[in-house]
Amino acid sequence: MQPVILAGGTGSRLWPLSRELYPKQVLSLIGGHSLLQNTLLRVSALPDVLPPIIVVGEEHRFMIQTQVEELGIFPTFSLLLEPVGKNTAPAICGAAQYSVRNSNDEKVLLVLPADHLIRDDLAFADAVLAAEKLALQGMLVTFGITPDHPETGYGYILKGEGSRVERFVEKPDYETARRYLQSGEYLWNSGMFAFTASALLEEIKLYSSDIYTVMEQAVAGGKQDGIFYRFNGEIMANCESQSIDYAVMEKTKNAAVVEADIGWSDIGSWRALWQVAEKDEQGNVTSGDVLLEDVSNSLIKAEHTLVAAVGLQDTMIVETADAVLVAPMDRSQDVKKIVARLKKEKRGEFQIHKTVYRPWGSYTTLEMHSRFQIKRITVKPGAKLSLQMHHHRHEHWVVVTGTARIVNGEKSFLLHENQSTYIPGGTMHRLENPGVIPLELIEIQIGSYLGEDDIVRFDDEYGR
């Protein structure tokens, strides 16, 4: 079986924790691992499973790579890079075509979103085996979740005879959802699938031929870059943006469903997280430095500072280093409206946290002003930044812990704890950690323009 993990998207309804460049799938919302890592662990426990194919946006590639490698369970894996997000149909079509190009064997593709929660791994494995049998018979199989409440945030599947799908139903209003639940004939549409690559591609070619053709060309015109395979950006830009449900599953005559009571949630909102998380005696879900007085049925998350709440019910508060969200629990779906406003107003809070992750480590902005800013930079052992230059800023580096190898103009030297260097604007420079422990330093930038796009790279290990 070939796992195909869909790791695109941002999860805007989980803002301010989820950001465009720090998406939902890399967050640790339940337990110590991220949602992506839990998905990979769950897949690794299946019998006869192949190294995963992970479809990810270009901007998230290093973050996803790091999280996979941290697990250490897949010596090899493939990262397919989407130059532009076009929804699930092109992503799955491209992954299937890539799989066919790289193997002559007919195998079942198990397509899973990277950001779902599944609590019952044994029931999940049983459902996968049932889906595999149907997929080997030429069926396009979806996993239907046994509903336990009238949910208006999910699409539904009406069960037909045997394992057949009668029809797919759009997200209903509350009264319709209540009727679906009472009838026992409907399942939640999970967005998880199993089918052979040939069966899927045949149906895409039949019902969404434009997507099939464009993605065939985008895959054929793609390029291998180490562990990454980039779909051709110019070609994929012309692809229709469409979900796999609309492009294929709602039209095919070969749709089947496996009912899966697996403790599933897509954690699509803060309310959804509250519903599945462990609660105290008052029904509260808390994390971080939180003090509550007369608070019930609420979600309070503190990332960087004390959050104190008094006399609240059915309320969510999420604090991060640069933003605080406060809303009634029943308005959790409307968080995406705030994200839309932030994007429209071109505010950075929709895109990044104060801590930004890079393939070599991370940096945290401690102070930001018009003519100077202060950052804490962490470089992983053995990693190094690009050889670069800035036109508009000067930099001062002070080592806090570890050892730094510095290129500063014509000079190359080591700096140790409590040592520093000054890099004038226009000077070619590089930072490297030659040690075995993380390197931390404080960087002070001074200049007329301090944007991250004031970088001229001369050499970069990461192909940027």
The alpha carbons of the chain give a radius of gyration, in whole angstroms, of: 24
> In whole angstroms, what is the distance from residue 366 CA to residue 353 CA?
11
> ∠ at Cα 323 (322, 326), nearest 5°?
160
Are 111 and 243 in contact by the 8 Å Cβ rule? The answer is no
Q: What does the domain layout of the chain look like in residue ranges?
A: 2-265, 271-338, 355-459
> In whole angstroms, what is the distance from residue 365 CA to residue 237 CA?
34
Locate 403 and state its tokens.
């050892």
pLDDT of residue 231: 95
The residue with greater pLDDT, 352 or 131, is 131
Extended beta strands in 19-84, E state: 53-57, 78-82
Least-confidence region, from 200-209, 405-414, 444-453? 444-453
pLDDT band at 356 (very low <50, low <70, confident <90, very high): confident
- Using one digit for the tens of pLDDT, what is the confidence trace for 304-320? 999 999 999 999 999 99
Whether residue 408 is predicted with pLDDT greater than 80 in this model: the reply is: yes
> In whole angstroms, what is the distance from residue 271 CA to residue 273 CA?
5
Amino acid at residue number 199: A
Whether residue 461 is predicted with pLDDT greater than 90 in this model: the reply is: no
pLDDT band at 104 (very low <50, low <70, confident <90, very high): low
- Using one digit for the tens of pLDDT, what is the confidence trace for 239-255? 999 999 999 999 999 99
Please report the sign of the dihedral spanned by the C-alpha atoms of residue 3, residue 4, residue 7, residue 12.
negative
Average pLDDT, the chain: 93
Are 257 and 165 in contact by the 8 Å Cβ rule? The answer is yes
Side-chain half-sphere CA neighbours of 141 within 13 A:
29
The residue with greater pLDDT, 170 or 105, is 170
Mean pLDDT of 387-399: 95
362-390 burial, b if ≥16 CB within 10 A, otherwise e? bbebeeeeeeebebbbbbbeebbbbbbbb
pLDDT of residue 153: 83
pLDDT of residue 131: 97
- Using one digit for the tens of pLDDT, what is the confidence trace for 140-166? 999 999 998 898 888 999 999 999 999
- Using one digit for the tens of pLDDT, what is the confidence trace for 13-46? 899 999 888 889 999 888 889 999 999 999 999 9
- Using one digit for the tens of pLDDT, what is the confidence trace for 194-210? 999 999 999 999 999 99
Q: How far is CA 126 from the centre of its chain?
A: 26
Tell me which residue of 322, 357, 272, 388 sits closest to 30, measured CA to CA: 272
Are 88 and 7 in contact by the 8 Å Cβ rule? The answer is no
Extended beta strands in 294-339, E state: 299-302, 307-310, 315-319, 324-328
pLDDT of residue 21: 82
- Using one digit for the tens of pLDDT, what is the confidence trace for 73-88? 999 999 999 999 899 9
Secondary structure of residue 316 in the 3-state scheme: strand
The CATH number of the domain covering residues in 2-265: 3.90.550.10
pLDDT of residue 79: 95
Using CA atoms, how far residue 57 sits from 23, 116, 127, in Å, is 11, 18, 29
The residue behind tokens 């140790």 is 416
The residue with greater pLDDT, 13 or 381, is 381
Classify domain 355-459 at the CATH class level.
mainly beta
pLDDT of residue 39: 96
pLDDT band at 53 (very low <50, low <70, confident <90, very high): very high
Tell me which residue of 405, 388, 391 sits closest to 447, measured CA to CA: 391
pLDDT band at 185 (very low <50, low <70, confident <90, very high): very high
> ∠ at Cα 63 (25, 122), nearest 5°?
40
Least-confidence region, from 58-62, 181-185, 370-374? 58-62
pLDDT band at 354 (very low <50, low <70, confident <90, very high): confident
> In whole angstroms, what is the distance from residue 297 CA to residue 283 CA?
4
Mean pLDDT of 362-380: 92
pLDDT band at 451 (very low <50, low <70, confident <90, very high): confident
> In whole angstroms, what is the distance from residue 165 CA to residue 142 CA?
9
Tell me which residue of 253, 452, 433 sits closest to 360, measured CA to CA: 433
